[in-house]
Amino acid sequence: MDSRTAFRSALLLLVTLLPLSANASSKLYIVYMGEKKHDDPSVVTASHHDMLTSVFGSKDEALRSIVYSYKHGFSGFAAMLTESQAETIAKFPEVVTVKPNIFHETHTTRSWDFLDLHHNRQPAQQPGLLKKAKYGEDVIVGVIDTGIWPESRSFDDNGYGPVPARWKGKCQTGQDFNATSCNRKIIGARWYGLGISDEVLNNNYKSPRDIDGHGTHVASTVAGGEVQGVSYGGLGMGVARGGAPRARLSIYKVCWLGGNCPEAAVLAAIDDAIYDGVDVLSLSLGGAGQELPGTLHAVQRGISVVFAGMNDGPVPQTVSNTLPWVTTVAASTIDRSFPTLISLGNKEKLVGQSLHYNASVISGDFKGLVYAGSCDTESSLALSNVTGKIVLCYQPAAANSMPPPQALPIAINLTIMAGAKGLIFAQYTTNLLDFLPLCKGVMPCVVVDFEIAHRIASYWRSDKGNAVVKVSPAMTVVGKGVLSPRVASFSSRGPSLLFPSILKPDIAAPGVSILAAEGDSYAFNSGTSMACPHVSAVTALLKSVHPDWSPAMIKSAIVTTGTYIAILKIHQN
């Protein structure tokens, strides 16, 4: 900026900087100022206070308004401002952008073997990436999410050495989370509750502890230690571990049950992670058209940043987190399925997908079958008299109907309330298994495609009033019999609306029916949120093998070799 422009800006400020009415409504704004101008964080924060003081006309009011000061990796702040105050601040020459705070959303026993990252290779085999990287030994992965459940067996620190000397982070205590909740595995934990309503805070742990389960699932997928004999009711039995099982974890809780993930908090977490000294940042969150400028400063300091691409597929141009310097991850399937035998009264046998493992849930053998059509309203089920029967229903394909991941939980709840003994849900994708635990202990729930549903409905029409069906417990099938990898239907597609000339997502990774830690147990989840930590783990392994590689070099290595491996797997299957 030249001196004349600076003078005009200063003159404008002298005219406009008047105390604003206390009655003016205010909301949280994020002020981004780019690269910080001073190495001392206290000086950077002081400059933020000075700017706000000039706007408010009062130092006390300025201090009360500020929520977060970004002072380690970049300069900026989040503060409660009126629209007029925000417009005034935007005219300061050192300010890059001013925008309202928005909310982002949160978007493994088999997947690592599927990717050929075997924990125990035979002696005759060449050592793979996992062994070369010493299983991610002492690489520090920052997970920005819903927190962590530190008592999970996946985070046991037995056998770990001292915390790396370069680490500058801290273990922030709070509700049901004390200093001993961190260990030599979870070496850091912070939580960001400023700007969150009391109503939301009261329904969450006011600490890094995870009430939602999402962050714990992600963290264990990245760097969970080896845990033997993990399954979901016997399904998916195997060894649960993260992709970089010896890596260290630093947890940044920015997402809240019922409150999503305020961008102001996400930026504060990125800023703190830069100071703490993480090597990789894993963010399974985002929002359409919203990008985080703080990530550029992380990458400039050698931190690889990996994002989930979001779950708004298969519609084109829905991918988010598409900044060129981050790795954006789509979700794909793995070579594991959970087929369930559906036996009809006419002796026809069909196959769906289910997590139903408890044969005692259904007393007796065959149950009455009823075809209810759409099952997104109570009236459709009531008219069909579904009490004591197994219901076949579908999600309408109309453009204004809700997507299957939203419709299935509604169908499950309505079917249970209507007194049914089971649900066969038909839609265009079977990548919905992580919703089926809603049926646990109540009734079997099965997902089928439209072709299978048509055959069941045809049988029902041919024998109305007498049609019966039996649902058997699910089985685990692994290997070449399962066509994979395939991009999940829910995974957001490119091109990017913001950067159409840049190919996004960068890569696809396992994100369907991933079994990982959730609370004290283990659960299935699907989404690009589950795919993201797979790439974060591979990034950590490459960082261990090549500590001198830049984030761009690591990203290039993953993207240019991942495609080749996927093609090989398709040919092998």
Q: Which residues on adjacent β-strands are paired with residue 523?
A: 516
Q: Which residues on adjacent β-strands are paired with residue 373?
A: 393
Report which DSSP code applies to 465.
T
d(CA 275, CA 273): 5
Q: Which residues contact 526 (CB under 8 A, 6 or more apart)?
A: 331, 431, 432, 433, 434, 488, 490, 511, 512, 513, 514
Measured CA distances, 238 to 43, 79, 108, 111, 516 (Å): 52, 48, 8, 11, 11
Nearest-CA neighbor of 286 among 304, 305, 268, 311?
A: 311
Q: Catalytic residues, which ones?
A: 145, 214, 529
Q: Are 280 and 543 in contact (CB under 8 A)?
A: yes
Nearest-CA neighbor of 409 among 438, 385, 429?
A: 438
Q: Are 239 and 230 in contact (CB under 8 A)?
A: yes
**What amino acid is encoded at 224 in this protein?**
G
d(CA 188, CA 185): 9
The token duo for 81 is 């401002």
Burial of 9 (0-12, 13-18, 19+ CB in 10 A): middle
Q: Which residues contact 66 (CB under 8 A, 6 or more apart)?
A: 48, 49, 52, 77, 78, 79
Burial of 5 (0-12, 13-18, 19+ CB in 10 A): exposed
Q: Which residues contact 192 (CB under 8 A, 6 or more apart)?
A: 68, 252, 253, 254, 262, 265, 268, 269
d(CA 298, CA 400): 40
Q: Are 366 and 389 in contact (CB under 8 A)?
A: no
d(CA 375, CA 386): 11
Number of Cβ atoms within 10 Å of the Cβ of 162:
9
Q: Token pair 């091109």 is at which residue?
A: 495
Q: Which residues contact 53 (CB under 8 A, 6 or more apart)?
A: 59, 62
Give alpha helix (H) positions in 77-119.
Answer: 83-90, 111-114
Q: Which residues on adjacent β-strands are paired with residue 39?
A: none
Q: Which residues contact 503 (CB under 8 A, 6 or more apart)?
A: 494, 495
Q: Are 152 and 177 in contact (CB under 8 A)?
A: no
